[in-house]
Amino acid sequence: MRSRVLFTGGTVVTTEGMNSVNVLIEGEIIRAVEPGLDVPADRTVDCTGKLLFPGIIDPHTHMGIPIKDIWSADDFNSGSRAALQGGVTTIIDFTVLEPNQSLKASFHTRRDLARVSLVDVALHVNLTRFSEDLLNEIPDLVADGAVSFKVFTTYREAGMMLDYDQIRTAAERIARAGGVLMVHAEDDAILQKALIPLLNRKYTHPRYHGQSRPDAAEAEAIRRVANIGIQTNCPVYVVHLSSARGLAAAQEGNVLVETCPQYLLLDDRCYDREDGAMFVASPPLRKPADSEALWQGITDGTIHALGTDHCPFCRKDKPAGLPFQDIPNGMGGVDTLFPVLLTQFLDRGLSLPRLASLLSRNPAEIFGLYPQKGAITPGSDADLVIVDPKKRSTDWMDQRLSRTDWTAYADFPAIFPDQVWRRGELMYMKGALVGKSNGRFIPGHRPQWDVINSRLK
C-alpha cells in the first residue's frame, strides 16, 4: 500500500510564490497542495517555521569522469550522497563519448553507471566528435529521453572541440529533433593567443590559468553560438557562464544562461592562496566586478539556471607546484549549491521564489523534466526539501557526506536541509542518510519552447 504523508504548517516556495499550504503525498507522487489541508495520513511531518522547496535539480554534474589522466573524485554513488545532503534530488549529468563509440552507446554506458545513484538522474549528450553518423542519431536520442546536446568551442588538444561550422550543422539537426544545444563557450583561437606568451615566459603558477582564458574568449564564443542559434532556430543554453562580458553577449544574443556558485561567490584572488590549484576550473574565476554582474543577471532574470559543474578533486589530486596547464580542471559543489545560495539569497534580500526557479523549475522546463520535476503540484514527483531558514551554520565542514576532502565554500555560512524527500522516500534527515532505494533515470521530453521562451526570455 502506498503510504500517505502530510506536511503541515510550512511555507511552500515555488516559482509562483511563497504560500502557507499543507502538502499531501501518496507513494512517490504529490497528491494535494492546499491551505489547511487536513486528511488522514500514515505520517504527519510538522513543518512549522520551515520552508519547503521543490527538490533541487543540479543541471550540470560530472560524476566520475576522466580528466587529464585521473578521474573526478565523486562517482554517481558518492556524488549523489553529497547531493542529498544539499537538497539535490535530481542531477543532470553528461555522457562521455569514447573513440569509435556511437552516441547511443555512450548514452547507455552512462545510464548504466548512474544506476548506483541515490538521486534521480537525467543525461545530456556530449557531442565531442563530428560525423554524419553521430548526427543521424540525434532524433532517436531525443525520443529516448536525451534532449540536450553539449558541444565545446575549445579543448581542441583533448579532441573534444567542434568548429563553428560543425556546430551550425549540429544545431540544425538538434533544432529539427526538438532538442537544445548546450555550449561550453570559450573561443579556442583567443585562448591559444593568450596561452602561448605565458608558456614562453614559463608563467605556470595557477594565477596564470585565469590569464590564459580571458573573458573575451567567452564573449566571442557566445556571440558566435548565439548567431548560430538564430540562423538555425535552435535553442542555445550556455553552461557555466563566468564573466560580465559573457553575460552582455548572452543578453544580446538572447540565449539561455547557466552560471555556477563559483562565479558568483569566488574570484581570481583565490589562485594566490596556498591551495590555489584547487580553484583551477574552466572557465576560470574572474574579477569581483564579474561576480557582481552575474548577481545582477540573477536579479534581472537574464540568468536562467544555476548548476555546479560538479567535477571535484581531492587535495592530493591538485598538489601545489603543478604548472597550471597540468592541473586537472574542475571543482565540486553539488552539496553546497542550495545551502550556500539560500544563505546568500536571504542575506542579499533576493526573492526565494526566484531561487526556486533557478534551482528547480527552470532547469526542469529547459531539459523537458517539468512538471514531473521542478514543481510542488498535484501529480509531480514528491521531491521535497524541508529547511529551517534560521538554522545557519559555519561549522558544517566536518559533517560533509562528500568523498572529497576539500570544498571551495569552507568559509561560507550555509543552511543545510532538515529533511530531503526523493519521490516520496525520506532520504536524508538531520545530517544522516536514511533512504535505501536508488534513484532512477528520468527521460526528458521535448521541451515546450513556446512556453519557455515566453516565461524566461
Minimum distance from CB of 186 to ligand URP (Å)?
A: 9
Residue among 116, 47, 60, 67 nearest 88 (CA): 60
Q: What is the DSSP string of 398-413?
A: GG--SS-S--TTTTS-
Q: Is the torsion defined by CA of 115, 119, 122, 123 positive or negative?
A: negative
Cell of residue 237, nine digits: 543554453
Number of amino acids touching ligand URP (CB under 6 A): 8
As to burial, measured by CB atoms within 10 angstroms (0-12 exposed, 13-18 middle, 19+ buried), residue 46 is exposed
Q: What is the largest CA-CA distance in the chain?
A: 73
Query: Taking CB under 6 A as the rule, which mask of x and - marks residues 312-341 in contact with ligand URP?
Result: -----------------xx-----------
Residues 136 to 195 in contact with ligand URP, rule: CB under 6 A = 184
Does residue 286 belong to the site contacting ligand URP (CB under 6 A)?
Answer: no
CB atoms within 10 A of CB 431: 12
Selection from ligand URP, Zn ion, none that 134 binds (CB < 5 to 8 A by kind) is none
CA distances from 76 to 73, 92, 202 (A): 10, 11, 38
Q: For Zn ion, which is the closer residue by CB, 306 or 386?
A: 306
Rounded distance between C-alpha atoms, residue 308 and residue 90, angstroms: 13
Residue with cell 516565461: 455
Minimum distance from CB of 47 to ligand URP (Å)?
A: 36
Minimum distance from CB of 310 to ligand URP (Å)?
A: 9
Q: For ligand URP, which is the closer residue by CB, 215 or 383?
A: 215
Helix (H) or strand (E) holding 166: helix 164-177
For residue 165, the cross-strand partners are none
Does residue 209 belong to the site contacting ligand URP (CB under 6 A)?
Answer: no
Q: For ligand URP, which is the closer residue by CB, 184 or 361?
A: 184
Residue among 376, 402, 420 nearest 61 (CA): 402
Residues 256 to 275 in contact with ligand URP, rule: CB under 6 A = none
Does residue 365 belong to the site contacting Zn ion (CB under 5 A)?
Answer: no
Does residue 419 belong to the site contacting ligand URP (CB under 6 A)?
Answer: no
Query: Taking CB under 5 A as the rule, which mask of x and - marks residues 158-187 in contact with Zn ion?
Result: --------------------------x---
Which member of 137, 187, 215, 309 binds ligand URP (CB under 6 A)?
309
Which member of 93, 120, 309, 335 binds Zn ion (CB under 5 A)?
309
Tell me which amino acid residue 282 is: S
Does residue 310 belong to the site contacting ligand URP (CB under 6 A)?
Answer: no
Residues near ligand URP (CB under 6 A) are 62, 184, 281-282, 309, 311, 329-330
